[in-house]
Structure 1
């Protein structure tokens, strides 16, 4: 696979400050201090940071890791996202299905030759179907972080939301490395449970015919304390550092394509169905 050229940022034309008529400036995205949705966002993170423990993550990995609960196609899962509004997101208050198309279309315009990357945009939040399977949103959405080691400074709302988490009382979980070895690799780290890890498991179980970069972006796209905050580098290996530019590239579209100008899914579905047929066709196990 060709190395991504990082000298030119093709998503600059889709950043809000140059996207006339769509409103928000860059600094207004991911505002966790104030805004009309902040009460909902704060409560979601408070529950997440209280309940996401080593024991909880291990339980969920075991519960969902086998992907034998039901069968459905990618388009059926996408339609289910019509009923999911992410309660951790301070930027949008519309169903996640629209966000999937916004992200995918942003990537498609900037990287027209990488159809697999377009599909990653469509797939990236599909694990949020967990919210329709009885899982609370704090166990599905939001930024992810490693459990079993010291919480790093760039974790969202770190100072005010971890006080009731029982792992905070365990000295072995509160050192820089905690359960892990230096540069062990993020694949060997227990991340807080949510839609990233779940969708990665679905893709792996069903053997999606996508490149390793696609699996990696899905698995770690919500790990903002790492790819944006610069923390947890002491746990990364060479593979993580090789993949980091891809995660950063994906994040531009995941974040900056969010706007109230919603796409028409029915117009876009035929193209994305062709990608699904190519890379992950048929009825899949979830």
Structure 2
């Protein structure tokens, strides 16, 4: 059976400690060339002042974020949790999930016109080129997979 995005085992409670220990071993082995928190060199010359300018965004983006902030209530969160646990979900590999996500138009992201697949691959590649740890590259690759919930009735 292929790996499933819903069957990922729970992370250990001390994942930060485990990650720090792995980082320490990698430093000893000479594998880690940069600190996790070093400034990115990948897009150092890029002008970032235009990113996340929601005041200049179109009404669709402004309305989306206004709605999301309005829905941040305990009652809404409890309903969302209940819906998540009672609805049937799909089984797919991570790659299949990325392909499915590539059919999604993200109306809330004013910063990119790229497809979701291109965005995920670019994120992971930028992190790789910046010399960050492999787990961080993976996070860059999968950071938007939560958007798949849209296909299953999430709002």
TM-score using structure 2 length:
0.69
| CA drift at 1:29 | 0.5
> What secondary structure does 1:61 align onto?
helix
Shift of 1:66: 7.6
Look up the match of 1:31.
Answer: 53
1:70 Cα deviation from its structure 2 partner: 2.3
Tell me the residue number matched to 2:9.
none
Q: Is the 8 A contact 1:85 1:93 kept in 2?
A: no
2:43 to 8, 11, 14: 14
Query: Is the 2:61–2:108 Cα contact (8 Å) retained in structure 1?
Result: yes
What is the CA distance between 1:91 and its match in structure 2? 0.9
Q: Deviations over 1:178-197 (max 9, x none)?
A: xxxxxxxxxxxxxxxxxxxx
Match of 1:83 in 2: 103
Deviations 1:49-80 (A, max 9, x none): 22232111112123325896221110110001
Match of 2:35 in 1: 5
Deviation at 1:98?
A: 1.5
* Partners of 1:80 and 1:109 in 2: CA distance: 26
Question: Does the 8 Å CA contact 2:41/2:130 hold for their aligned counterparts?
Answer: no
- Aligned residues of 1:41 and 1:89 also touching (Cα < 8 A): yes
Q: How does 1:1-286 map to 2 (within 5 A)?
A: 1-2=22-23, 5=35, 8-9=38-39, 11-15=40-44, 18-19=45-46, 25-35=47-57, 38-65=58-85, 69-111=89-131, 114-136=133-155
Unaligned runs of 5+ in 1: 20-24, 137-286
How much has 1:2 moved relative to structure 2? Answer: 1.9
Measured in 2, the distance between the counterparts of 1:87 and 1:129 equals 14
Deviation at 1:119, TM superposition (A): 1.2
- In structure 2, relative to structure 1, the CA distance for the partners of 1:127 and 1:6 (3 Å cut) is closer
For the Cα contact (< 8 Å) 2:89–2:152, is it kept in 1? no
Say what the alpha-carbon RMSD is for the aligned residues. 2.4
Say if 1:46 and 1:54 are closer, same or farther in 2 by CA, change over 3 A.
same
Q: Partner of 1:90: helix, strand, or coil?
A: coil
Contact 2:120 2:141 in 1 (8 A): yes
TM-score, length-scaled by structure 1: 0.39
Contact 1:78–1:126 under 8 Å retained in 2: yes
Q: Following TM superposition, where does structure 1 have runs of at least 4 consecutive aligned residues deviating by more than 4 angstroms? A: 65-68
